[in-house]
Structure 1
């Protein structure tokens, strides 16, 4: 039997985790349904017209990132508690299998549950609040709005908060969120200072991995890379995602009884 991964052993571990945590997950799903219902219902109540697809998309993305980040920050949190960590580490399964159970619940399973809950509540709210008027539901896999990009954004957020769930021993969500915000502020500030020093001119707003605006006399000029080269910046979040997942797994392997 492989010490790294075995399907039968992993199946028993996954089943054990589901049995023990299933009640809590069902309760969390109920809270998610209620929260989405309140937000979408409030948006429909405050508007004289049915909720537009754009507003639905905003609610979808904000709910996905917020709920997903909070849930992900809990899936490996038990490794930070000595009693829970001892029980988890004594289970006859490899570190990879234990990590994979948390990863599966935090990413593909959560995405499936969230998407299903959102469109269920969205369809109910649109039907009840339409008043007989024609309504349009936002589409996840539409080439126009490209809402499916939010799933990729969540994968990056998931990786960071998965790492935070095992790196910190308590207040995992708050500390990870604070660390992310602080890192973003520092990155934006340093990027602006470095770009202004390189150009040697007064610059407008300069965001990382984007174009910049500079002033020549009373005229402002916009400078940016060609679209083909700018597309390479998409590898940055991909790299962050893979590194964060790898770092989270590394922290799991470092845990000892």
Structure 2
């Protein structure tokens, strides 16, 4: 690794940040025309669960404009995330050793993929169950009219919860590779992880058993997957090629 002056690093950091922000803005501008359609797509799981003739509402005067814009910005962030991660990688890679690059790059890509998979899991599988349950338990005579801004806050929280949950294998592998925990300790903590998964699910998800299980079960299974991958990575090269 070559030592470079601090000023050079700061200039390089500024360049990478600018490129990441420009990439985000380009995607946002390209998607802005369809911001209403993008929000409708996000709201579809709830709209499908609402009783006939029921609609979402906006209690803030500016919400019909700003909420779809926020959603579009979040989508633009996700779409431009590969470019952002590339800029981060281009900045830190020169300071890494070869063996560190072989570990960091796959973990970085895996983190991105797993987070998106977690969000997709929440959108396609969890949301229909959660909103169907909430619609079914709504008392008679009460209109289930959800504010669009509060709905956005709710789904973002769920996206983050499931996205982070699907990062568990990466977290397990990193902790094991750093020597923080051994494979024996990871296996020994299995019962605590299962209990903790259901506790976390009970706190994060709505108060129905289905959504809690749909968060706790993947968290546990992904923990087990992280142990398997850690064991594979720690195997000697001769065993892997045998």
Q: Is TM (by shorter chain) over 0.5? A: no
**Normalised TM-score (structure 1):** 0.28
* Larger relative helix fraction: 2
